[in-house]
């Protein structure tokens, strides 16, 4: 397999950049862009004995530009080894970018990628517009060759009323009977979003099956990056809406849970929820691991907040921790993959700490930590007004997670990162709390915080680029709080 000229150039460029970027300027256990810019995770899959993760990639600059697919592999989902970029926009049908897509292993052992090819064209009136089609590439886990029959889905395959400009991000899977399905994001005539379902007997020949889900202008507009899977007896559809309306709980990615009929591929929505209530989470993709776990990785960023990056870091973009999913009481729950526990070192524990006001605890500090907190009112009857944990802190900076029992609102706030740049800096959500009792697990890496509430009922994620030396962690209570803390250092 011969890499084309564009791909060769990108591979050379990223290799040199990677040598230049110091490991200590990267997150410790979150995947960051090998060079330049990263957005959506793509092609997350287990193949050839390793986890593979591709991503949307513009290696040459720290901004979204002409899209390539970058590639990394891992044995533990936490430490990633970069492989050479996998796709370059070097064909007529993808000349304006290789957009998001997914991967699956074929029965003959080949790795099949399905992605969106973007083309810039002129319409009849001479106006420029884009055309989006679905394309394939087949490979061995390192090198991928685009299929000669590309594109395999274009405007001619779409139902009436469906846009061929907004037609992207195929998520492919194999059904138990060996046939393939793919859900693709699309915009119908009402300007809203819809998810289309396509089928294929062999992975190469595709046809439209049905409209799988419709937004009908309920949650934002166009729905990007769909993912669909069965979990704990339910069908789960993840979509990332564009132009999401402002609101407390719904921000980045939406999860629709419902009944799924394997024989007819009918999906009947029952519940909806936000996947992550923090500031930086978008376009997640899941993979089914060989041990049966359904694991999700998201782009740890949101389009609205891209301006907050630090100029002196020579990479842009991180992925979230991989998260194990489950459905409990009709809701999606998520926890960091259990592999993270293997990185735990140096346990520090305090039980039944009763305090009101500021609190520092010996041994509780750090920027790469995994911390479990249980809080409750000290006096079972009388609720406190506010609890907060502050981290990445020094005299100038801090990021915090705070909780007010009244209204049951949890908030993440990175308003003091040490740079004047952040515009959107806080987000809140309502959480379940019985009279001020709350369980939080807070995972910090150098440039991010991920909060898991009540054993994974909800998650809040935010990136921050505070100087690495700011490693203070402290607690605050307005009213008397009783707290248990267990904290671990996390190894690189
Ligand atoms: C989502 C998205 C996708 C698209 C990709 C382009 O973040 O807009 O819909 O495929 O990014 O990089």
Q: At 391, which CATH number?
A: 2.60.120.560
Q: SS3 string of the chain?
A: CCCCHHHHHHHHHHHHHHHHCCHHHCCCCCCECCCEEEEEEEEEEEECCEEEEEEEEECCCCCCCCCEEEEEEECCCCCEEEEEEEECCCCHHHCCCEEEEEEEECCCCCEEEEEEEEEEEECCCCCEEEEEEEEEEEECCCCEEECCCCCCECHHHCCCCCCCCCEEEEEEEECCCCCEEEEEEECCCCCCCEEEEEEECCCCCCEEEEEEEECCCCCCCCEEEEEEEEECCEEEEEEEECCCCCCCCCCCCEEEEEEEECCCCEEEEEEEEECCCCCCCEEEEEEECCCCCEEEEEECCCHHHHHHCCCCCCEECEECCCEEEEEECCEEEEEECHHHHHHEEEEEEEEEEEEEEEECCCCCECCCEEEEEEEEECCCCCCCCEEEEEEEECCCCEEEEEEECCCCEEEEEEEECCCCCCCCCEEEEECCCCCCCEEEEEEEECCEEEEEECCCCEEEEEECCCCCCCCEEEEEEEEEEEEEEEEEEECC
In this structure, the number of other CB atoms found within 10 A of the CB of residue 175 comes to 11
Question: What pairing do the DSSP bridges indicate for beta strands 36-47 and 315-316?
Answer: parallel
Whether residue 388 lies inside any domain: the answer is yes
Give the residue, out of 193, 224, 302, with the most ligand 1 atoms within 8 A of its beta carbon, to mutate for a pocket test. Answer: 224
Residue 423: predicted pLDDT = 61
Phi, psi of 421 (to 5 degrees): -90, -30
246 or 432: which leads in pLDDT: 432
Q: How far is the CA of 346 from the centre of ligand 1 (A)?
A: 40
Residue 244: predicted pLDDT = 80
Q: Which domain range does residue 268 map to?
A: 5-15+28-336
Residue 248 has pLDDT above 50, yes or no: no
Q: Provide the percentage of residues in the chain whose pLDDT is more than 70.
A: 97
Picking from 290, 316, 336, the residue at the C-terminal end of a domain is 336
Does 466 contact ligand 1 (Cβ within 6 A)? no
Interval 79-135: pLDDT, tens: 999 999 999 999 999 999 999 999 999 999 999 999 999 999 998 889 999 999 999
In this structure, the number of other CB atoms found within 10 A of the CB of residue 355 comes to 16
What is the mean predicted confidence (pLDDT) over 63-90?
A: 98
Does 224 contact ligand 1 (Cβ within 6 A)? yes
Phi, psi of 17 (to 5 degrees): -60, -45
Give the residue, out of 38, 56, 118, 302, with the most ligand 1 atoms within 8 A of its beta carbon, to mutate for a pocket test. Answer: 56
What is the mean predicted confidence (pLDDT) over 387-393?
A: 97
Residue 382: predicted pLDDT = 80
Whether residue 21 lies inside any domain: the answer is no
Q: How far is the CA of 422 from the centre of ligand 1 (A)?
A: 23
Q: How far is the CA of 278 from the centre of ligand 1 (A)?
A: 20
Residue 35: predicted pLDDT = 97
Whether residue 80 lies inside any domain: the answer is yes
Residue 247 has pLDDT above 80, yes or no: no
Does 254 contact ligand 1 (Cβ within 6 A)? no
What is the overall mean pLDDT for the chain?
Answer: 95
**In the block, residue with structure tokens 């957009």:** 99
Residue 67: predicted pLDDT = 98
Name the catalytic one among 18, 40, 161, 352: 40
What is the distance between the alpha carbons of residues 131 and 96, in angstroms, rounded to a whole number?
Answer: 9
Do residue 254 and residue 307 come from a single domain?
Answer: yes
Do residue 320 and residue 351 come from a single domain?
Answer: no
Q: Please, which pLDDT band fits residue 26 given cuts at 50, 70 and 90? A: very high
- Ligand 1 atom index nearest CA of 67: 12
Does 99 contact ligand 1 (Cβ within 6 A)? yes
CATH code, 182: 2.115.10.20
Q: How far is the CA of 133 from the centre of ligand 1 (A)?
A: 13
What is the mean predicted confidence (pLDDT) over 323-350?
A: 97
Residue 417: predicted pLDDT = 67
Does 225 contact ligand 1 (Cβ within 6 A)? yes
227 given a catalytic annotation: no
In this structure, the number of other CB atoms found within 10 A of the CB of residue 339 comes to 18
Do residue 39 and residue 182 come from a single domain?
Answer: yes
Do residue 60 and residue 182 come from a single domain?
Answer: yes
Whether residue 20 lies inside any domain: the answer is no
Residue 60: predicted pLDDT = 97
What is the mean predicted confidence (pLDDT) over 191-202?
A: 97
Q: Please, which pLDDT band fits residue 310 given cuts at 50, 70 and 90? A: confident
What is the distance between the alpha carbons of residues 352 and 374, in angstroms, rounded to a whole number?
Answer: 9
Question: What pairing do the DSSP bridges indicate for beta strands 409-416 and 472-490?
Answer: unpaired
Give the residue, out of 283, 299, 306, 320, with the most ligand 1 atoms within 8 A of its beta carbon, to mutate for a pocket test. Answer: 283
| Cβ pair 460, 427 in contact under 8 A | yes
Q: How far is the CA of 114 from the centre of ligand 1 (A)?
A: 14
Do residue 75 and residue 107 come from a single domain?
Answer: yes
| Cβ pair 153, 133 in contact under 8 A | yes
Does 320 contact ligand 1 (Cβ within 6 A)? no
| Cβ pair 330, 257 in contact under 8 A | yes
Partner residues linked to 82 by β-bridges: 72
Does 78 contact ligand 1 (Cβ within 6 A)? no
What is the distance between the alpha carbons of residues 187 and 199, in angstroms, rounded to a whole number?
Answer: 19
Do residue 282 and residue 203 come from a single domain?
Answer: yes
What is the distance between the alpha carbons of residues 153 and 208, in angstroms, rounded to a whole number?
Answer: 9
Picking from 296, 319, 336, the residue at the C-terminal end of a domain is 336
Do residue 360 and residue 405 come from a single domain?
Answer: yes
Does 158 contact ligand 1 (Cβ within 6 A)? no
What is the mean predicted confidence (pLDDT) over 413-427?
A: 73
Interval 291-309: pLDDT, tens: 999 999 999 999 988 877 7
Does 56 contact ligand 1 (Cβ within 6 A)? yes
Given strand 167-174, what is the order of strands in its sheet? 167-174, 180-186, 194-200, 207-214
Picking from 336, 365, 397, the residue at the C-terminal end of a domain is 336
Do residue 323 and residue 455 come from a single domain?
Answer: no
Q: How far is the CA of 64 from the centre of ligand 1 (A)?
A: 10
Residue 1: predicted pLDDT = 56
What tokens were used for 392? Answer: 């990445």
Closest residue CA from atom 9 of ligand 1: 224
Do residue 153 and residue 135 come from a single domain?
Answer: yes
Task: Identify the CA nearest to 405 among candidates 431, 372, 378, 379.
Answer: 431
Instruction: Calculate the CA 24 to chain-centre distance.
Output: 23
Instruction: Among 77-86, 123-132, 329-338, 470-479, name the one with the lowest average pLDDT.
Output: 123-132
Whether residue 379 lies inside any domain: the answer is yes
What is the distance between the alpha carbons of residues 214 and 207, in angstroms, rounded to a whole number?
Answer: 19
What is the distance between the alpha carbons of residues 104 and 216, in angstroms, rounded to a whole number?
Answer: 31
Q: How far is the CA of 71 from the centre of ligand 1 (A)?
A: 17
Does 100 contact ligand 1 (Cβ within 6 A)? yes
Whether residue 374 lies inside any domain: the answer is yes
Q: How far is the CA of 170 from the centre of ligand 1 (A)?
A: 11
Q: How far is the CA of 224 from the centre of ligand 1 (A)?
A: 7
- Ligand 1 atom index nearest CA of 64: 12
Give the residue, out of 41, 42, 68, 100, with the most ligand 1 atoms within 8 A of its beta carbon, to mutate for a pocket test. Answer: 100
What is the distance between the alpha carbons of residues 118 and 66, in angstroms, rounded to a whole number?
Answer: 10
Does 58 contact ligand 1 (Cβ within 6 A)? no
Do residue 352 and residue 276 come from a single domain?
Answer: no
Do residue 86 and residue 163 come from a single domain?
Answer: yes
| Cβ pair 456, 335 in contact under 8 A | yes
- Ligand 1 atom index nearest CA of 40: 7
Whether residue 23 lies inside any domain: the answer is no
Number of domains in the chain: 2
Whether residue 331 lies inside any domain: the answer is yes
Do residue 122 and residue 256 come from a single domain?
Answer: yes
What is the distance between the alpha carbons of residues 57 and 101, in angstroms, rounded to a whole number?
Answer: 13
Residue 149's alpha-carbon distances to 208, 222, 396, 473, in angstroms, are: 17, 28, 58, 56
């Amino acid at each position: 397999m011969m890499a084309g000229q564009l791909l060769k150039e990108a591979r050379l460029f990223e290799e040199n950049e990677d040598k230049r970027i110091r490991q200590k300027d990267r997150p410790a256990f979150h995947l960051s862009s090998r060079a330049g810019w990263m957005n959506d995770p793509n092609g997350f899959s287990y193949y050839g004995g390793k986890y593979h993760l591709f991503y949307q990639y513009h290696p040459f600059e720290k901004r979204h530009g002409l899209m390539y697919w970058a590639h990394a592999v891992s044995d533990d989902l936490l430490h990633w080894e970069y492989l050479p970029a996998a796709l370059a926009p070097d064909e007529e049908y993808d000349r304006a970018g290789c957009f998001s897509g997914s991967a699956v292993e074929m029965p003959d052992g080949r790795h099949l990628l399905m992605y969106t090819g973007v083309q810039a064209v002129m319409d009849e009136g001479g106006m420029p517009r884009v055309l989006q089609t679905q394309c394939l590439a087949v490979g061995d886990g390192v090198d991928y060759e685009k299929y000669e029959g590309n594109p395999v889905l274009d405007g001619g395959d779409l139902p009436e009323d469906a846009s061929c400009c907004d037609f992207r991000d195929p998520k492919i899977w194999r059904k138990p009977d060996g046939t393939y399905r793919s859900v693709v994001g699309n915009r119908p005539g009402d300007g809203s979003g819809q998810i289309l379902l396509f089928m294929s007997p062999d992975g190469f020949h595709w046809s439209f099956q049905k409209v799988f889900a419709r937004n009908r202008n309920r949650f934002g507009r166009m729905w990007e990056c769909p993912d669909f899977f069965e979990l704990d007896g339910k069908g789960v559809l993840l979509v990332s809406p564009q132009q999401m309306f402002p609101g407390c709980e719904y921000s980045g990615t939406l999860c629709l849970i419902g009944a799924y009929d394997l024989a007819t591929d009918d999906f009947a929505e029952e519940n909806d929820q936000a996947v992550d209530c923090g500031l930086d989470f978008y376009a997640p993709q899941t993979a089914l691991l060989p041990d049966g776990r359904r694991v999700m990785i998201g782009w740890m960023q949101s389009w609205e907040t891209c301006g907050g990056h630090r100029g002196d870091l020579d990479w842009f973009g991180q992925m979230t921790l991989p998260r194990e999913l489950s459905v409990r009481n009709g809701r999606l729950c998520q926890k960091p993959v259990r592999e993270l526990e293997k990185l735990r070192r140096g346990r520090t524990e305090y039980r039944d700490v009763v305090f009101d006001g500021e609190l520092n605890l010996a041994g509780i500090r750090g920027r790469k930590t995994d911390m479990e907190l249980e809080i409750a009112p000290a006096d079972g009857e009388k609720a406190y007004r506010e609890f907060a944990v502050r981290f990445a802190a020094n005299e100038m900076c801090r990021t915090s997670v705070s909780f007010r029992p009244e209204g049951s609102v949890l908030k993440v706030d990175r308003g003091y990162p040490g740079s004047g740049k952040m515009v959107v800096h806080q987000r809140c959500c309502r959480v379940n709390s019985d009279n001020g009792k709350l369980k939080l697990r807070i995972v910090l890496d150098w440039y991010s915080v991920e909060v898991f509430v009540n054993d994974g009922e909800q998650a809040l994620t935010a990136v921050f680029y505070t100087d690495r030396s700011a490693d203070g962690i402290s607690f605050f209570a307005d009213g008397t709080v009783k707290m248990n803390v267990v904290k671990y250092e996390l190894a690189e």
